[in-house]
A and B are shown apart, each in its own frame.
Chain A
Amino acid sequence: MSLMHVSSPHLHKPVTSVEQVMKQVLLATLPGVAVLTWFFGPGTLVNIIFGSMLAMGFEAWALWLRGKDYKSPLKDHSVIVTATLLCIALPPYSPWWLIVVGIGVSVLLGKHAFGGLGYNPFNPAMVGYVVLLVSFPLQMSAWTEPRGVGEVPGLLDAITALFAPASYDGVTAATPLDLFRQNAGMLFDDLMVSKAELAGPIAGIGWDLVNIAFLAGGIWLLRQRIFTWHAPAGMLGALSVCALLGFDEGSSTGGGSVMFHLFSGATMFGAFFIITDPVSSAVSNRGRLIFGAGVGVLVYLIRVNGNYPDAVAFGVLLLNFAAPFIDQYTQPQVYGTKKIEVDE
């Protein structure tokens, strides 16, 4: 037997792999998904299961088309993460074709058109989401009423909605962010008490708890050192500052309170699960802080002044464009390159 000729280092950190990282991300979405399921029924869960199976199929197909080994890359779970993130963002009880289009765009266009895992300049889940949002605005705003406001659909409803959307007759309702945008003429405090959906302790029934659950998952990932605090802190910090500056004690033209913005819509999900995608974000810690802050500012501006109720997807995609530019100016100070003052 001959000696193996391998390059240093010979030691490797035990149990770290792409698969491991992806598994931890999936695990961290559980609290958020659980709360979503509690308030909105099994729709999101059904989305995720259906979407993940589709995504694996698309991934294998894309790899096969590209002449790559189509079995082992599936094991890295990255495509399941993409599918899960997209499906969490989709309204529950979406029809099958919406998910097929979304996953197809995410995996084929968002990921493989650019060269597959590690090469995508844009967050694949957000590419899929934005394509759906601009193409099918009706279906994309069809959120249901949360538990406590209306009837929560069951598993049978979920399956009917998925595979036979024509025969499913669900009740859709506006989300707190929709209400906020549609009722620009009302005083903020009046708005918060006038609608049953907004009667929650912070930012509407269900939604604040959904945000808290994603925040909890995110903090766990942070502690697992899957990502650093910079991007989430940048986004939440910038969003808070914007909300603070724009909030005028609740007049009809004001921008909504800090707590309302932090715990509404996709804020926490975006801050910990979307903008932390390492592939499409800036690389240095300082860069990631700026990247996150950019998303935070855009989310606020689009929520308050834009045509869409929420804006994490647009914010992320726009900052994905800017990431190489940010990288250019945020290179860390390398050892020994600091100018030293010569003491005379």
Chain B
Amino acid sequence: MRQIFDIHGGIHPPERKELANPGQVQEMPLPSKLVLPVTQHIGAPARPIVEVGDSVKGGQMIAEAQGPVSVPVHAPSSGTITAIESRAVPHASGLTDTCIEITLDGTDTWVDLKGLDDWRTRPKAELVECIRQAGIAGLGGAGFPTAIKLASDRERGIHTLIINGTECEPYISADDTVMQCYAREIVEGAEILAHMVGAENIILAVEDNKPDAVEAMTKAAEALEIADVVTFPTKYPSGGEKQLIEILFDMQVPSGGIPADIGILCQNPSTAIAVRDALLDGKPLTDRITTVTGMALQKPGNRRVLLGTPIRELLAEAAFDRDAADRVIHGGPMMGFAVTDLDMPLVKITNCVLAPTRTEIPPPQPQQACIRCGMCAEACPASLLPQQLYWYARAKDNEQLERHNLLDCIECGACAYVCPSHIPLVQYYRSAKGAIREAAKEKVRSDNSRTRFEARQERLEREAAAREAKRAARKAAAEARAKSGDDPVQAAIERAKAKKAAQEPKGTEDNAQ
């Protein structure tokens, strides 16, 4: 039995996971339209390679990766491109972005898919490229391009692959369902991932509130010697990558670093399946399992949905009572954001769509004064002092914010959850982080222009000095010549005469013609 460690802080919110009946995958009928944003990942947007009017087949690439930190987008089903325009996309700030709209023809015709049976013998670069071309971004919620995580060559190497099936946020049971229904595929994907990064161990990490998933995973892991299932007590936010590493290894990812710095790679179970499907079946990422839940839905559940399905259709399928809810949340209730437009589509990072009733998740209470009770500091998994950060965030004291490690805040929301004064702490931190990043960018910009200005000044001075030196040299030379009796004026006159004499006969000839 592996030793488990505790993390600082953490909370135990009501789980409410049973609502979505974890362990059963419900299929969705084909929607009539899909809206696919070109950015469903962290990094540069993909560039559309289709035009309005084109017909596309399922699995066909419709937008290609631009630059290294980018992933392509594929058509999840067959149909016609009916629009490429800016639409509302899932984003905390309610942004719009370029989206490709496909009107489906209902036949669901696919391109021919071809997997790599011999992936074990292929070079790593080829496997990475295959994963990149399959459009895979982390399906746990952050959406970091998977190929980048796998491609990075680090001196110290990766010793352990963690398949993070913690799923600590309330309501969400997508990973739980995937682990129960597709345990074998997860282990196959994990084997590929471990092979690619050279990991000697695979830990299939599951919180102890998912006994069925643990059972399924334990059974599947028997097929792979290096894989072990590890369970640990339920506590939010144990599923945070950094927290999970501390739970499993009693080690901390260095501030500002990534798990690979200490030889660990974390992947979500669904991402492992996507990698497996891409390599073994040649299938790009075009669908995912999403938890659709909340008391405002009569038929909540875990559904297999095509990427690009409008949230409105997803909710309609789950019998959404629009009047009972006053918010719809993309993601979980701790870290998800409120959807501003129900027409926005479901994307690669959508692990949950939550439609709670007003009594289930009541509107926020008015904010009161901070009494510095310290409950937030007790709850913070990063051992920060949220009450101090709040103070400095309000004072816009960036220096103190950085000194108090604001940038190590993972925005889990545990502080705001326990705050008796109902202060939306995370909102203050997000905004302060934005301001610090903006200030850093501004500093780089001003440093650059100062460097440029100084370089220009230097160049102008250098040129002026050079001109001055040249002039002085010419002057010196002229003086020297004048001294030696060599009169330059006389010499010039003689040169001109000689030239004229040489030109004269030529000029006559011209006149004669």
Contact = CB atoms under 8 A, between A and B. Distances in A.
Contacts of B11: 13
A5 interface: yes
Contact of A8 (B334, B341, B404): B334
A8 B356 CA distance: 14
B13 to A, nearest CB: 5
A93 interface: no
Interface in A1-16: 1, 3-13, 16
A279 B8 CA distance: 23
A273 to B, nearest CB: 14
B326 A21 contact: no
B371 A78 contact: yes
Contacts of A327: 388
Interface in B373-428: 373-375, 377-378, 381-385, 387-388, 403-405, 408, 411, 413-414, 416-422, 424, 426-427
Interface string A267-296: 000000000001101011100100000000
Most chain A CB neighbours (cut-off 10 Å) among B246, B335, B369, B427:
B369
A300 to B, nearest CB: 26
Interface stretch (A94-102, A304-312, A333-341): A333-341
Given A1-B323, A4-B326, A340-B252, A227 B385 contact: no
Given A283-B385, A327-B388, A18 B377 contact: no
B363 interface: yes
A281 B388 CA distance: 13
A118 B372 contact: yes
Contacts of B14: 11
Interface string B319-358: 0001100111101011111111110000000000010100
Nearest to A16: B420
A82 to B, nearest CB: 12
Given A5-B340, A8-B335, A11-B170, A76 B368 contact: yes
Interface string A312-344: 000000000000000100011111111010000
A334 B334 contact: no
A278 B373 contact: yes
A331 B372 contact: no
Nearest to B8: A335
A150 interface: no
Contacts of B327: 3-6, 10
Given A283-B372, A334-B405, A3 B339 contact: yes
A193 to B, nearest CB: 45
A17 B365 contact: yes
B253 interface: yes
A131 interface: no
A278 B374 contact: yes
A283 B11 CA distance: 20
B233 interface: no
Most chain B CB neighbours (cut-off 10 Å) among A11, A12, A283, A337:
A11
B94 interface: yes
A336 B372 contact: no
Contacts of B427: 7
A325 B194 CA distance: 50
A141 B420 CA distance: 38
Interface stretch (B254-262, B267-275, B478-486): B254-262
Nearest to B336: A8
A116 interface: yes
Contacts of B323: 1
Contacts of A11: 13-14, 170, 333-334, 361, 413, 417
B224 interface: no
A4 B362 CA distance: 11
A20 B368 CA distance: 13
A9 B385 contact: no
Nearest to A72: B366
A119 B369 contact: yes
A331 B403 CA distance: 10
A335 B412 CA distance: 14
Interface in B60-94: 92, 94
Given A335-B381, A336-B253, A9 B333 contact: yes
A160 to B, nearest CB: 38
B251 interface: yes
Contacts of B417: 9, 11-13
Contact of B334 (A5, A10, A17, A281): A10
Given A336-B242, A337-B255, A283 B382 contact: no
A338 B252 contact: yes
Interface string A141-155: 000000000000000
A20 B365 CA distance: 14
A21 B418 CA distance: 12
A49 interface: no
Contacts of A6: 327, 338, 363-364
B285 to A, nearest CB: 26
Given A18-B371, A78-B371, 8 more contacts: A1-B322, A8-B413, A10-B334, A10-B354, A13-B13, A13-B417, A285-B374, A338-B252
18 contacts: A3-B340, A7-B426, A9-B426, A13-B11, A21-B373, A116-B369, A117-B369, A117-B371, A278-B371, A281-B372, A283-B385, A331-B403, A331-B404, A332-B385, A335-B408, A336-B252, A336-B382, A338-B252
Interface of B: 8, 11, 13-14, 92, 94, 170, 242, 246, 251-257, 262, 322-323, 326-329, 331, 333-342, 354, 356, 361, 363-365, 368-375, 377-378, 381-385, 387-388, 403-405, 408, 411, 413-414, 416-422, 424, 426-427, 430
The 7 closest A-B pairs by CB, nearest first: A9-B413, A118-B369, A336-B255, A335-B382, A7-B427, A334-B405, A4-B327
